[in-house]
Structure 1
Amino acid sequence: MSIRYSKYFPGFIFVTDLLLLNLAVYNSHLIETQSTSSSTELSLFLFLVNIIWLGVSAISGSFNIKRPLRLSDNINRFMLTLMYHLLIVFTVFYFFHLGYFSRLFLLTSYVLFFTFVIIYRSVVFFFLDYARKKGYNHRQIVIIGDEKIAQRLLESFNHHPEYGYDLADFISEERILTMNEDSLTESLLSKKPDEVFICYKQMDSELLKRLIKFGDNNFIKIKVVSDLILSNNAAQLVNYNNLPVLHITSHPEIAMKVRFLKRSFDILFSTGVMVFGSPIFLILAIVTKTTSKGPVFYRQERIGRNEKPFYIHKFRSMRIDAEKWGPQLAREDDPRVTKWGKAMRKTRLDELPQFWNVLRGDMSVVGPRPERQHFIEQIVEKTPNYKKLLRVKPGLTSIGQVHYGYAENVDQMCDRMRYDLVYLQNISLNSDLSIILKTVKVMVQGKGK
């Protein structure tokens, strides 16, 4: 795809999303053969659904595909748009009594729409990624400033050809000193850049003003690159009355939309598991009760978000006197674990009651595993970074739990923590879904440590 046509691409995505929405509703209507809604009600539904989508999508910009090319960011923005759309549609139809549509019809419509768009977006991103790696749909860039910073920037672009950038010219700080405003402008225009990257250690404010003016006059994007290298992504640009300030924090601030998506997903997923999995819950409870003495459920205090204690729930997998000598971690071939408990721990089925903790808001489906205060104090002594994990809700499963499993001592808990710190820097609904799928694989294979 040539660059000159790229400006039409967002509009193409916008129209295609609208078509897929209508296709999803139409197919949902065909699937629900017992629908009692009239053709007039269906037409009204389609009309309002389309109008609401046009408004919500236009505001959220879910159809925009920006550089750098990241499918997860685009899908997260689309999912947030979809949730707002569903909320508005539900409010309009059910509170204003504009017609009756079954829950199955609505659920099928949105599941199909979500599926269609995810498949479509994946194909689009695959095509763009492939095309840019082959040298198409590239942007010409000029880099100005410090050579070392420019080299780091070029290395990043070389490692990610899907960004689609080609270097047209590099103008060093030494060259800039020999150029006046007219010669600099002529040099830039001769290269016909789409974007100009300014790499700086000490910013020349007058030069920056000239370049911004040049960019505005010639429709060229101006981007500023500092010499700062972060070990994580906990940075945000904040504008204080036209004064840009880079906000860097030792703990990442989770965006409101990510928190909203995670909590919405937690409620929907946990409700689904507890409703549809109730027969499995009942069987596990009966077997737990009949295979060893003691209660079905095990209740223990753990430390949650912002160091707030809460009680975690599990199917009991150990003898009732397992900790008569004080807090202990389970180990390989632990004699305190019952035979049935060992099977549950291998398949992680003992953790299922924690979906109740998720519904209550104590936990999330995915997040760092919650620990007891007794062990937290020992972990923090060895690895103070652990406190970062207490900034987010603990999870029923985690990337550390998937790759490392249950820890048998404090050193292993510190090792497992490193996985969770990586997750903390990349929290998104996509990464959560990936961890859930990996957890299911561990459960099915019975590889839980």
Structure 2
Amino acid sequence: MNKNSPWLSLFLISDYLSALVSWALFFFFRKTLIENQAFDMDINFWLGIGLIPLFWMLLYFVQGTYIEIRRMFRLKLLNLTFSISVIGSLIIFFSIILDDQVRSYEGYYWNLLILFVVHFGTTFTPRLLINTWLVHTIRKPNNGFKTVIIGGTEKAVDILNEINKNEKNVNTFVGYVNMNGNDRQLDGKLTYLGHFDDLEEISKGIEIDEYIIAVESSEHNKLMQILLKIDNGIARIKTLPDTYVILSGSVKMTNIYGALLLDVQSDTMPFWQKVLKRIIDLSMSFIAVILLIPFYLFSAIAVKISSPGPIFFLQDRIGKDGRVFKIFKFRTMYVNSERNGPQLSSENDPRITKIGSFMRKTRLDEFPQFFNVLLGHMSIVGPRPERKFYIDQIAKIEPQYNQLTKVRPGITSWGQVKYGYAENVDQMLQRMKFDLLYLKNRSISLDLKIMLHTLLIVVRAEGK
């Protein structure tokens, strides 16, 4: 069972009941104190009882409140509850309360203040009680975050001692792995699990919550190799401050009860932006599919006339988390163009039809991929998906490529905009650099910029 599940259930039940109680209390104070009327459970009261808690639960979800519940410590809990109470109260005020008839403008301010105070109080209090129970449970022996230290030198010993000497320690150390045969200074303090190269085999059957990278300066060249092996999107990764400058991932400082470590984040996009990005993907793709029906019909006829064969070209591509999916494209090449095996297209490629050449320059051949977005295979903006045949070649040269499969691939990408179609593996590696840059700086605003650049390429027919 997922360790978060029972605590998540408690938070969900608590938040729903708190939202319900806060609305009832607010309605009571609003009627009796501000409107100076007798409390009456009219239709507005019951509508609020039914809808307001659902509204708050939606806000909490978009905020990312329920991600990593077991790591929801008091200060973070206070910040999340306060900020969302302000936002939610303002939304309710301007959408529901502002049209109330009040005796003076002060009534509006009192409405907003009471709504915020009541909701924040009724929500944060039970959350704090549950959180206190949660922290107390985690601090019990063997209940903490299962942690593996990577490295067995004096640095690793110092980190272990600094964490263990604090009574508020929340780590349960499973053991350590070393980077070479001499890293055995943690023997007698932690269980030796084996060499780092065997970590995948070692971790089978062990649910590891956290890795702490404690390698010497002489081994900094191995950091990317370490990150690629342990960054599964589930376990937290922490490292020492002196390795900060050479890590490609974004980091943030975190104080683990006295031990200063850096949190390595492979994905810096906030959860609410991920939710918004998916909403934009689905809504824009749905609209695009409807508006492009005439274009789809025209393109289908053009492709059919250009050469014998099917209208659409379906091909296996590697998507998020390495999952295989069928990508949809209008066919731009003659049938059996890869009879001799996988081959990238090139400028003036004789395999490309005349209509196909135009469609590639304008990116129109990619338009059927809006269906891939609706099916959940792709996003509008993201690293372009590749075939396994080429991924295997790229990953041997640049293991960082595997980072790109941690997000949904896109119809367009920063690499596609800046570089265009790649004609060989070397060019694919060059394009990959732009996609890695995108991955480390993902945001809604960057997505919108890429969409705008893509639109200009389509209009100007400047595609490579």
Please, what TM-score do these two structures have when normalized by structure 1?
0.49
